[in-house]
Structure 1
Amino acid sequence: MTDTGGAQIRLLELADAPLYREIRLEALEKNPEAFGSTFERENAQPLSWFEAAIGRADIFGAFLDGELAGIAGFSAQEGLKQAHKGRLWAMYVRNTARGSGLGKLLVAAVLDHARGRVEMVQLTVVSENEAARQLYSAMAFVEYGYEKRALKQGGRYYDEILMVKFLDEARETTRLLP
């Protein structure tokens, strides 16, 4: 567990499943355009489904004054030819904690966890989410692709930016797109 200025960052445990369910559903409800899943789909799932998610992936929680205020997931790719790649996913910080640096702490925790496990961490971010794009850029993620119409929510399409951070800092850390 990392304790930074009142914020505690740690991997979620099975006992955290009710808290995880609550914040995950909030994320899907408040920012439906940012996630591949939907509130309706996950709201219909039993608590055991969220426990299983915690059991199969590395999901970090950011706690402020004992309240779960942010989450970020990490998973390594499977298969011999892709095992060098990891993915940061399901990043969300509650409105009350935005602008506090909590997002940066979550991303840093995921990156620290990924080092020694994978060589690079990839993510996708909705092109219109400027705050998230700025956060990831500040954490040395670089853009390498653009997916048009990556998500469709409420009859509207959302494009996604593909980003990567090479964990062996000797790699190129400048923007990969022309």
Structure 2
Amino acid sequence: MRKHAYLIMAHSNFQQLKFLLSLLDDKRNDIFLLIDKKVEVSDKLLGALKSACDKSNLIFVERTKVNWGGYSLIKAELLLLKAAVKTDHSYSYYHLISGSDLPLFSQDYIHEFFEQNPNKIFLSLVDNEIKNNNNIAERVRYKHYFNELYGKTRGSFTGKVVNKLDRGFVRVQKLLNKDVLKKFKIKDVGYASE
């Protein structure tokens, strides 16, 4: 039996997370869960999450503080992947999802689909119109030195100041022609979900 590894990052809405775990609960799945360290989590909550899984192995991964748009998001993904790779299983697929996601199909359907599509990788990219409307190339063309700080302070007065500082640093990079895409000869940038 080829197993799947579900890698989940969660930070809120733990009732939905518990429901998600129950939907993924299947002997063919191992579930790796990283809960943002910025969130207080009680033993009672961890027990409730664990109780959602009868058939799957639920592995709690080392917690870290995660800020949207910052390197800490990548660090969290790597912690999940390392935890999954360290196991004795060779997973046929790794599914990276958030604690707010829910599967649209049953586990039987999902496993059958992947059995019929072996060794394929499934990533979704948005079309160029959406990518261009969201200025994705501009968002990665220049270094953003305050991503971690902005993620912590977004919506506050400090966040507004950090955002203005960031925009100022981007302007300086434009003036100095410090373009990351040109530097690394990247011709096109895709845009997808996590």
State the TM-score bracket (shorter-chain normalisation). under 0.3
Which structure dedicates a bigger proportion of its chain to strand? 1
Q: Which has the higher contact order (CA 8 A, sep 6+)?
A: 2
Considering fraction of residues, name the structure with more helix.
2
- Normalising by the residue count of structure 2, what TM-score does the alignment of the two structures yield? 0.26
